[in-house]
A and B are shown apart, each in its own frame.
Chain A
Amino acid sequence: MTENGQLLLELRNLEKSFGGLRALQGASLEIAQGQTVALVGDNGAGKSTLVKAIAGIQPADSGQIRLRGQDVTISSPKDAGEMGIEVVYQDLALANSLDVAGNIFLGEEPLKVKLGWFSVPDTKQMDAETAETLERLRIRIPDPGRPVANLSGGQRQAVAIGRSIRKGARELLVLDEPTAALGVEEVRKVLGLIGTLKDEGQTMMIVSHDLEHVFMVSDLIAVMRQGRVVATVKTSDVTKTDVVGLIVGDIEGAVA
């Protein structure tokens, strides 16, 4: 399982309940350095809850998270960020009225004048670093000074990913439905971007409904059902039909 590299993240028996609803019922998962793991499952299988637990937005009620063999507690997005874990959310990633640099640096602006909340950001440095990040990820945005509301879906997704990369997703980058609601050409660009990141050795977890995209970019597929990871399979070992069988429960899971 760790042939691609060292074990990076281990989730052990994560549980999370919302009132009577048991969203996570002992979910366990391992991700090795440099791997791209796709997290699939039906609606309500617990994918989002698992991501929110890793991101620190809704910490799990019980269970263990280990990062490089160390037990860690992730109780806020800040904790996750400091550990080098960044999450790109499907819809809630960008502030529409701010420009590309404003979004990429949101909450972590370099400062020209330090005055607490009333600090003045160094917009020149922000623009320069933004251009650098976009260049590195081969993202082309003609007019980065405009509010991101004017960008296409794929460009917005790219900005959101660029933001996480710049913030330093040095350990893990989690992408929540990166290709949902995008046009064909846009999807191609986002998948290309994921490929670029993969070549750079970025460890990624991709939550997706689209099995075609999952098969195009992932090394491993983790299948969730009823709050558990019921199977982790090598993408090259299985067919789409197998994965669908695992998702709906026609095939009993076996952790590879």
Chain B
Amino acid sequence: MSEQTSKMKQGTGLRIPGLEALRDAPFFNVLIAIVVIYVMLTILTGETFNTVNNQITIMRAASVFLILAVGQTLVMSTGGIDISTGSMIGAVGAIIGIGLESGWMPAGLALPAAILLGAALGAFNGFNVTVLGVPPLLATLGTFVAYRGFTQYFMGVNLVTGLPDIITTIGRAYFLGVPVPVWTALVVTFLGWFVLRRTIYGRYIIAIGSNPAAARATRINVRAITASTYIIQGACAGLAALVLMGRLDSASAAMGEGLELHIIAAVVLGGTYLFGGSSTMVGTLLGVYLIGMLENGLIQTGAGFFVQKMILGLLIIGAVALQLHQKKKRPT
């Protein structure tokens, strides 16, 4: 494709500016991957993959990931990482679930309470990273274990089911033929895109990730801004927990287990630089779709859960390797 573009430019003098901009976009790789894999899966699965219904199924499953990935993109912009997302979902789900079951939590308050709870869990991560100075990977590895431990301690083997309508609506209802979780995720993504691309906050997190010393030498409150990305990630986890509870109509101590790797893979595949300073919300959206599509397609081709895990793990390594390789060629 890149050869074609340059041929057009030299050969006929024809320039397609949109195409050139697209080739330079950080999410170009993931776009190509989506096209190639989409065609492959369509061929491999016969008629079942390339249908409107199946695409909606993919998006509904991916919506929880997308909500989390938006927060992760902001965290990664600063050069941080949050691997405690799955455990935050578990903890929020446990508290809200038990609260609803035992009646002390009014159903109408579940959504704001979940978001605030998530934000509080994220604030603890932010505190550990910015005030105590614990490296993000280890700070959130700590809470990854601790929050899950809390959830299991708090809930035991209980399974809360029969949730109020308001919550199942958030997880299961349709609006204009599209599932409500998909709408929710798209709104969150738009907000994330706006904050990242259009506000000074977006500039500051990019500056912090790109050169922390330079950011510190300005009036930017580097600590507060960095901590706030973990709070936003926590709030996203709170929202995602409620969407997931609504979809499953239940909450258990295992909720959200293992999804953190999905999120990180999606964000990195989308073109956000793992070490901060360069990120793309459009890429994150595409990265989440790519992984959702792969999972869906692999199930349909008969590959099991374990094969999916292997592919996901290798995909992360591949994406990071590719990113580092391109970084060397073209510093951004």
Which residues of A are interface residues toward B (Cβ below 8 A)?
Answer: 55, 57, 77-78, 81, 87, 89, 91-98, 102, 106-109, 111, 115, 117-121, 147, 149-150
Contact = CB atoms under 8 A, between A and B. Distances in A.
A117 B218 contact: no
Closest 4 CB pairs of A and B: A107-B218, A92-B213, A95-B207, A95-B210
A243 B318 CA distance: 55
A95 B200 contact: no
Contact of A87 (B203, B209, B217, B278): B217
20 contacts: A55-B217, A77-B216, A89-B214, A89-B217, A95-B215, A97-B206, A97-B278, A98-B207, A98-B210, A108-B218, A111-B200, A115-B199, A117-B199, A118-B199, A119-B199, A120-B198, A120-B200, A121-B199, A121-B203, A147-B332
A77 B291 CA distance: 45
Contacts of A149: 331-332
Contacts of A119: 199-200
A206 to B, nearest CB: 18
A87 B204 CA distance: 20
Looking at chain A's contact residues, the main secondary structure is: loop
Interface string B198-241: 11110110110111011111111000010010000000000000
Contacts of B215: 95, 106-107
Contact of B219 (A108, A118, A121, A150): A108
Contact of A93 (B199, B203, B214, B332): B214
B199 A81 contact: no
Given A89-B214, A98-B207, 20 more contacts: A55-B217, A57-B217, A81-B219, A92-B213, A95-B214, A96-B277, A98-B203, A98-B206, A106-B203, A106-B207, A107-B218, A108-B218, A111-B200, A117-B225, A118-B195, A119-B199, A119-B200, A120-B198, A121-B200, A121-B203
Contact of A77 (B200, B204, B211, B218): B218
B266 to A, nearest CB: 21
Contacts of A121: 199-200, 203
B325 to A, nearest CB: 17
A107 B331 CA distance: 23
B211 A94 contact: yes
A120 B199 contact: yes
Contact of B220 (A102, A107, A147): A107
Interface string B171-211: 00000000000000000000000010011110110110111
Contacts of B216: 57, 77
B214 A94 contact: yes
Contacts of B207: 95, 97-98, 102, 106
A99 to B, nearest CB: 10
Nearest to A77: B217
Given A92-B214, A121-B200, A97 B277 contact: yes
A167 B217 CA distance: 13
B220 to A, nearest CB: 5
Contacts of B209: 97
B316 to A, nearest CB: 23
A118 B218 CA distance: 18
B77 to A, nearest CB: 9
Contacts of B219: 77-78, 81, 107-108
Question: A81, A89, A97, A109 — which one has the most chain B CB atoms within 10 A of its CB?
Answer: A97
A149 B199 CA distance: 21
Nearest to B195: A118
A107 B211 CA distance: 13
Nearest to A116: B201
Contacts of B331: 96, 149-150
A94 B220 CA distance: 14
Contacts of A108: 218-219
B203 A117 contact: no
A10 to B, nearest CB: 24
Nearest to B198: A120
Interface string B265-288: 000000000000110000000000
Given A117-B225, A149-B331, A95 B211 contact: yes
B203 A118 contact: no
A51 to B, nearest CB: 12
A77 B216 CA distance: 9
A106 B220 contact: yes
B35 to A, nearest CB: 27
Given A77-B217, A106-B207, A107-B220, A117 B332 contact: no
Contacts of B277: 95-97
Contacts of A111: 200
B213 A102 contact: no
A110 to B, nearest CB: 10
Contacts of B225: 117
Contacts of A92: 211, 213-214, 217
